[in-house]
A and B are shown apart, each in its own frame.
Chain A
């Protein structure tokens, strides 16, 4: 527990840095929100008026202080385009992105890890080549392409999948909000119909993302398993007559897991960023598409809010991974 507390303390400087950097980055972006919102026909006076209303005429340090003050009171500001508080927007959209990303990661892990293990154990065999082909295909096809391809095949040609129009078909109503994950919320509400519908909507975008993240996980599992399998303690285990199942899963895989967990963390953060495109293709109301739109409009508050939320998520993710390390490897625990 003390290790966790100590680890949490080290997060503080990171967060301060994130706050400063996001603030500065949004300010150096080209584009003037005042001019944008005043419209193309506005004259200089009205632009200046809007600028003063937004507080953008003040010097940067003053703006920054105001921003920090807002943050401290839990306000992320309002999005100029929608007029909604950024916090509410993020609250509504983050679960959508998280549900998509996590499902994709689960699918990807459940395929990639066994595939990687098999490929390593039967190095040079048919399954190894299958692993190579699948992973190469996964990384070389861009997500918007696989997304469109899936939509074309499964919705347009085969009609197996519902229309790519967001998280839930229009005929269904959103389940009562508990976690914000439609699949879980509908199960909690005991509404199997909605669950099925939510799952059907989720399947294609999640599969698209999963295919993309398959490659790094499978490759890392394979490489890490190969190096562990050739190590001396595996030879000892074999010489002691342990069954190959015990040797591979009990001895080798647990030792091979550290780099895999690291990769998982990286893949997760990639996915959070990469799903912008998938969200566009499937009209998924996630944070990615929200942030991109805000960015195009030089809308500072949502961009800052988004980056901050991502940074927090990323920090939490890294903490989880560090804790997982300790669970897997006693040697890491010692250093903590």
Chain B
């Protein structure tokens, strides 16, 4: 049987200011009917561009320079735009990363599904609504009649992705291209969404291309895996073979860098640069951070804010109980220790870190840092407090957390200038160079702006900035979530080295239990503002007590060990 999709020698070029750039170079890709093919690679590997080229929805600057894309025998590179709009959505459809952004924000989701159904004459004005509701129930949305009238902003990320899936599958296409469909979703949501996709596509005998940076996801859901690197295919093989015996060097490196049960921090790095493991951190008995009965309440989003309240005439008639984002949690971090704070979105882990960082005020509870009651200092005046320099933070998005108009050296010098005692340009520069060396940032990059740096380099700048004042506690808020696995491996190792060298303590906030295990001595699992499990990393991952922890661990896809 011939392949449903047969891509041969596809080359995609982009016209940029510095001339044409080949984003995809002569790649071959074959998808048989009913097959699920994973396209795996890191950012810049050209995996998304390939799919856009197949759909012919490249940006204006991009064009297919060479090669052929045969779909059911029809050459898509030669098809007219009219033919393509007929094919899109009916024969080939696509689901995207960031589902909330992928839906029209001001149109009811049901109407958006109807638009597609009507466009491809799958429904008329009489039955469109019924069919849209039917699609909603197929993607397992509870109360579909009600949800038909919802706007995307009223739905959770997982729900929005279900809507996008409903949209893509409404016209029963033969091929589904899923471009990082679960990036940014929680692990349990990811599992639910991926299970839904594979169930629906299997039931309909559809073919799927799953584009992902996550080898674990590809291993769990694909029949065949194509590994891409810098616009080229480096390896194509059955999924089982790729993971059992990766042939290409690059695939092997990717495999190594993906954290999974049993891997070690050093083991993530390519063998040629792996150093000796750090000596186990010297955790002294001294408690650095002590959090007791921390509570953060938010008023519920109510429509009625009474007049009396608005005019400050005392509290209004007691409304419903406020929402508790953090509901009475207590924990300690000792000097030199790193504590992982794990949970899904909305569990209160970020609120907790914000309160420890003294960016928001707790409703009640105490926070003490090395014996000083920092919880008593209002968040508004904490920036001027002498304790401020003792806590620093590394943020999730290395790009967004750097001022785009500051050079790297200016960004690193910022805390020094605000709170440090160094005076004079030369002293500052020297300290920044020292810090850059410490985090492994080449000195010649110091005068560059964030947009001239790679993701890993920006992460290093963010870390250098955080350690500039020799803090005692560093809060790491998903510091590697936006990075490729190979870069993540390097950054995690860097963080571990720095901790050993500088004797800091870490509060590591993450959704990824495997990453947390590598870096942290102890782990706290949070759910709905409460701690459900607490213990050493090994114990929590290998013998979890709480059912929720087990569920979390089971939901993480990983390549076979």
A contact set with B: CB distance below 8 Å: 123, 231-233, 235-244, 246, 250-251, 254-255, 328-331
A251→B119 CA distance, assembly (Å): 14
Could you list 25 examples of A-B contacts with CB < 8 Å? A231-B101, A232-B101, A233-B102, A233-B104, A236-B96, A236-B104, A236-B164, A238-B88, A239-B96, A240-B115, A240-B168, A241-B85, A241-B86, A241-B88, A241-B93, A242-B89, A242-B115, A242-B119, A244-B85, A251-B104, A251-B107, A255-B105, A330-B106, A330-B151, A330-B153
Nearest first, the 4 A-B pairs at minimum CB distance are A241-B89, A241-B88, A240-B89, A232-B101
In contact, A240 and B88 (Cβ under 8 angstroms): yes
B94, B98, B102, B116: which contacts A242 (Cβ < 8 A)? Answer: B116
Q: Say yes or no: is B155 at the interface (Cβ < 8 Å to chain A).
A: no
Chain B positions within 8 Å of A251 at CB level? 104, 107
Q: Kindly list 6 other residue pairs between chains A and B, CB separation below 8 angstroms, not including A241-B90, A242-B89.
A: A236-B104, A239-B93, A240-B119, A243-B85, A251-B107, A330-B106
Chain B positions within 8 Å of A250 at CB level? 115
Most buried by A among B89, B167, B168: B89
**Smallest CB–CB gap between A270 and chain B, Å?**
28
A123→B59 CA distance, assembly (Å): 12
In chain B, positions 56-97 with a C-beta closer than 8 Å to chain A are 57, 60, 85-90, 93-94, 96
**Smallest CB–CB gap between A9 and chain B, Å?**
10
Contact with A along B111-139 (1 / 0, CB 8 A): 00001100110000000000000000000
**Smallest CB–CB gap between A212 and chain B, Å?**
31
Chain B positions within 8 Å of A328 at CB level? 106
Most buried by B among A238, A244, A329: A238
In contact, A255 and B104 (Cβ under 8 angstroms): yes
A264→B101 CA distance, assembly (Å): 27
In contact, A235 and B57 (Cβ under 8 angstroms): yes
Chain B positions within 8 Å of A238 at CB level? 57, 88
A232→B180 CA distance, assembly (Å): 14
In contact, B105 and A233 (Cβ under 8 angstroms): yes
In contact, B98 and A232 (Cβ under 8 angstroms): yes
A123, A239, A246, A331: which contacts B115 (Cβ < 8 A)? Answer: A246
Chain B positions within 8 Å of A233 at CB level? 101-105
Please count how many residues in chain B sit with their CB below 8 Å of the partner chain's CB atoms: 29
Contact with A along B143-173 (1 / 0, CB 8 A): 0000000010100000000001001100000
Most buried by B among A240, A242, A246, A254: A240
**Smallest CB–CB gap between A66 and chain B, Å?**
31
In contact, B153 and A239 (Cβ under 8 angstroms): no
In chain B, positions 469-496 with a C-beta closer than 8 Å to chain A are none
A101→B98 CA distance, assembly (Å): 44
Q: Say yes or no: is B55 at the interface (Cβ < 8 Å to chain A).
A: yes
Chain B positions within 8 Å of A237 at CB level? 104, 115
Most buried by B among A251, A254, A330, A331: A330
In contact, B106 and A331 (Cβ under 8 angstroms): yes
A304→B195 CA distance, assembly (Å): 70
Chain A positions within 8 Å of B87 at CB level? 241
**Smallest CB–CB gap between A2 and chain B, Å?**
9
A285→B225 CA distance, assembly (Å): 77
Take A239-B55, A240-B119, A251-B104 as given contacts and tell me if A232 and B89 are in contact as well, using a CB distance cutoff of 8 Å: no
Chain A positions within 8 Å of B153 at CB level? 330-331
A189→B226 CA distance, assembly (Å): 76
Q: Looking at chain A's contact residues, is the secondary structure mostly helix, strand, loop, or mixed?
A: helix
A330→B155 CA distance, assembly (Å): 13
In contact, B167 and A240 (Cβ under 8 angstroms): yes
Chain B positions within 8 Å of A254 at CB level? 106-107
Chain A positions within 8 Å of B55 at CB level? 239
A243→B115 CA distance, assembly (Å): 10
A236→B100 CA distance, assembly (Å): 11
A232, A243, A329: which contacts B106 (Cβ < 8 A)? Answer: A329
B85, B106, B167: which contacts A236 (Cβ < 8 A)? Answer: B167
A114→B501 CA distance, assembly (Å): 63
**Smallest CB–CB gap between A245 and chain B, Å?**
11
A307→B126 CA distance, assembly (Å): 55
Q: Which residue of A lies closest to B117 (CB)?
A: A240
In contact, A236 and B115 (Cβ under 8 angstroms): no
Chain A positions within 8 Å of B116 at CB level? 240-242
In contact, A239 and B151 (Cβ under 8 angstroms): no
A331→B168 CA distance, assembly (Å): 25
Chain B positions within 8 Å of A123 at CB level? 60
Chain A positions within 8 Å of B101 at CB level? 231-233
In contact, B102 and A235 (Cβ under 8 angstroms): yes
Q: Which residue of B lies closest to A3 (CB)?
A: B303
**Smallest CB–CB gap between B423 and chain A, Å?**
45
Q: Which residue of A lies closest to B89 (CB)?
A: A241
Most buried by A among B60, B87, B98, B119: B119
**Smallest CB–CB gap between B262 and chain A, Å?**
37
Q: Which residue of B lies closest to A250 (CB)?
A: B115
Q: Which residue of B lies closest to A328 (CB)?
A: B106
Most buried by A among B98, B103, B105, B168: B105
In contact, B103 and A236 (Cβ under 8 angstroms): yes
**Smallest CB–CB gap between A65 and chain B, Å?**
27
Take A330-B106, A331-B105, A331-B106 as given contacts and tell me if A239 and B57 are in contact as well, using a CB distance cutoff of 8 Å: yes
A329→B104 CA distance, assembly (Å): 11
Chain B positions within 8 Å of A246 at CB level? 115, 119
Chain B positions within 8 Å of A232 at CB level? 96, 98, 101-102
A251→B89 CA distance, assembly (Å): 16
**Smallest CB–CB gap between B9 and chain A, Å?**
24
**Smallest CB–CB gap between A8 and chain B, Å?**
14
Q: Which residue of B lies closest to A232 (CB)?
A: B101
Q: Which residue of A lies closest to B153 (CB)?
A: A331
Chain B positions within 8 Å of A231 at CB level? 101
B98, B119, B151: which contacts A243 (Cβ < 8 A)? Answer: B119
In chain B, positions 10-61 with a C-beta closer than 8 Å to chain A are 55, 57, 60
**Smallest CB–CB gap between B85 and chain A, Å?**
5
Q: Which residue of B lies closest to A9 (CB)?
A: B307
A235→B168 CA distance, assembly (Å): 12
Chain A positions within 8 Å of B107 at CB level? 251, 254
Q: Which residue of A lies closest to B116 (CB)?
A: A240
**Smallest CB–CB gap between B272 and chain A, Å?**
39
Q: Which residue of B lies closest to A336 (CB)?
A: B303
In contact, A241 and B119 (Cβ under 8 angstroms): yes
A238→B87 CA distance, assembly (Å): 11
Chain B positions within 8 Å of A235 at CB level? 57, 96, 102
A239, A244, A329: which contacts B94 (Cβ < 8 A)? Answer: A239
A238→B98 CA distance, assembly (Å): 16
Chain B positions within 8 Å of A241 at CB level? 85-90, 93, 116, 119-120
Chain B positions within 8 Å of A243 at CB level? 85, 119
In contact, A236 and B102 (Cβ under 8 angstroms): yes
Take A238-B88, A243-B119 as given contacts and tell me if A331 and B102 are in contact as well, using a CB distance cutoff of 8 Å: no
**Smallest CB–CB gap between A128 and chain B, Å?**
13
Chain A positions within 8 Å of B115 at CB level? 237, 240, 242, 246, 250
A32→B119 CA distance, assembly (Å): 72
**Smallest CB–CB gap between A118 and chain B, Å?**
15
**Smallest CB–CB gap between B161 and chain A, Å?**
12
A331→B108 CA distance, assembly (Å): 12
**Smallest CB–CB gap between B299 and chain A, Å?**
15
**Smallest CB–CB gap between B300 and chain A, Å?**
14
**Smallest CB–CB gap between A224 and chain B, Å?**
14
A242→B87 CA distance, assembly (Å): 10
A251→B55 CA distance, assembly (Å): 20
A236→B85 CA distance, assembly (Å): 12
Chain B positions within 8 Å of A242 at CB level? 85, 89, 115-116, 119
Take A241-B88, A255-B105 as given contacts and tell me if A331 and B151 are in contact as well, using a CB distance cutoff of 8 Å: yes
